[in-house]
């Protein structure tokens, strides 16, 4: 199985969870040192065989190039965890064009490329999982986190469509929608930690693993009861109210 963004946070904890279940792993991110450390940890703990592929997925078609590299190495992929992603917390007018292009290429482009590349094999074997990490940011637009929230809305919509296409097969598509979680995410985004309790990353991963174990899996799962209520409310409350509330929260947690 292949996990993107395995060098920290949720991706590293997904690797730990799948390793504990006996999976062989392909670990992808840019920081090779972190990936090698994780591979050593998992080998020590579970005897896990890991293949480390340092790869920058933040450019257009990088996901397709990675898929080609995986097949060139003769590796079979039956589970893809499209987890790598980052956010930028600033007014859209102040965004850096290159950073935003990379954010969209990673959060959206690589996720679509990798899903598309590995799906035909999974469908042919009638076995496999595409687990895409979205966010509770997928359920409403967020001023000052606008590009990021839009990418996550894409991930949720795309994964639900995939779920619809695969419903009568044994290939699963699941979008995980975490709320604020204690990882390196906020350091990368340059934000102060979002107000309110942060979930721990292993707890969020356990929620996704439980969702995958269901006999009839859902198209998406939201981690945390408070996050579930927040997402539900933003679907039913008046749109302008939701946008204004999002603006208030994002301004209260200004980038430092
Ligand atoms: N933490 C939260 O509050 C939260 C909430 C909702 C959703 N999420 C989502 O959860 C996912 C994981 O994020 P996290 O919270 O675990 O944050 P994180 O600790 O910052 O991890 C992000 C991972 O993405 C990788 N990555 C970033 N840019 C990359 C690139 N250009 N190419 C390849 N890999 C790249 C990073 O590795 P390298 O830097 O080594 O490349 C790292 O392994 C993301 O999709 C994020 O949007 C997070």
Q: Give the model confidence (pLDDT) of 137-147 as tens digits.
A: 999 999 999 99
Contacts of 8 (CB under 8 A, 6+ apart): 29, 31, 34, 183, 184
% pLDDT > 70, the chain: 98
Whether this prediction's pTM lies above 0.95 is answered by yes
Query: How far apart (Å, rounded) are the C-alpha atoms in residues 128 and 19?
Result: 17
pLDDT at res. 215: 81
Q: Return the domain boundaries, the chain.
A: 2-252
DSSP type of residue 197: P
Cα angle vertex 169, ends 14, 178, to 5°? 30
pLDDT at res. 195: 56
Which range (53-67, 169-183, 192-206, 229-243) has the least confidence? 192-206
Q: How far is the CA of 83 from the centre of ligand 1 (A)?
A: 7
3-class DSSP state for residue 79? strand
CATH class given for the domain over 2-252: alpha beta
Q: How far is the CA of 85 from the centre of ligand 1 (A)?
A: 4
Strand 220-222 with 171-177, pairing: parallel
Radius of gyration of the chain (CA): 18
Which residue(s) pair with 220 in the sheet?
Answer: 175
Indicate which residues carry an active-site annotation.
Answer: 148
Closest C-alpha residue for ligand 1 atom 31 = 58
pLDDT of 183 over the 80 cut: yes
CA 76 from centroid of its chain's CA atoms: 21
pLDDT at res. 194: 61
Ligand 1 pocket list (CB less than 6 A): 4-11, 29-31, 34, 56-58, 83-87, 106, 133, 135, 178, 180-181, 183-185, 188
State phi, psi for 48 to the nearest 5 degrees: -65, 135
Atom of ligand 1 nearest to the CA of 31: 40
pLDDT of 37 over the 60 cut: yes
pLDDT band at 196 (very low <50, low <70, confident <90, very high): low
Residue 111 in contact with residue 154, Cβ under 8 Å?
A: no
Tell me the best of 36, 183, 224 to mutate to test the pocket of ligand 1, counting ligand atoms within 8 Å of each CB and taking the most: 183
């Amino acid at each position: 199985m292949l996990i993107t963004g395995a060098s920290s946070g949720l991706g590293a904890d997904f690797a730990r969870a799948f390793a504990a279940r006996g999976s062989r792993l392909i670990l992808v991110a840019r920081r090779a040192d972190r990936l090698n450390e994780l591979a050593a940890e998992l080998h020590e703990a579970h005897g896990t065989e890991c293949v480390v592929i340092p790869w920058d997925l933040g450019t257009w078609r990088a996901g397709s190039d990675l898929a080609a590299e995986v097949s060139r190495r003769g590796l079979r992929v039956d589970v893809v965890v499209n987890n790598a992603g980052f956010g930028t917390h600033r007014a859209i007018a102040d965004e850096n064009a290159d950073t935003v292009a990379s954010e969209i290429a990673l959060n959206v482009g690589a996720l679509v490329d990798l899903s598309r590349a590995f799906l035909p094999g999974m469908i042919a074997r009638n076995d496999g999982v595409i687990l895409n990490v979205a966010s509770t940011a997928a359920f409403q637009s967020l001023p000052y986190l606008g590009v990021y929230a839009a990418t996550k809305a894409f991930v949720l919509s795309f994964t639900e469509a995939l779920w619809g296409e695969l419903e009568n097969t044994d290939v699963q598509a699941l979008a995980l929608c975490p709320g604020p979680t204690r990882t390196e995410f906020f350091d990368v985004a340059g934000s102060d930690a979002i107000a309110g309790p942060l979930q721990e990353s292993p707890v969020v991963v356990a929620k996704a693993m439980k969702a995958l174990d269901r006999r009839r899996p859902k198209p998406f799962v939201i981690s945390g009861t408070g996050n579930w209520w927040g997402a539900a409310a933003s679907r039913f409350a008046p749109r302008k109210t939701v946008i204004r509330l999002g603006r208030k929260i994002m301004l209260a947690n200004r980038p430092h």
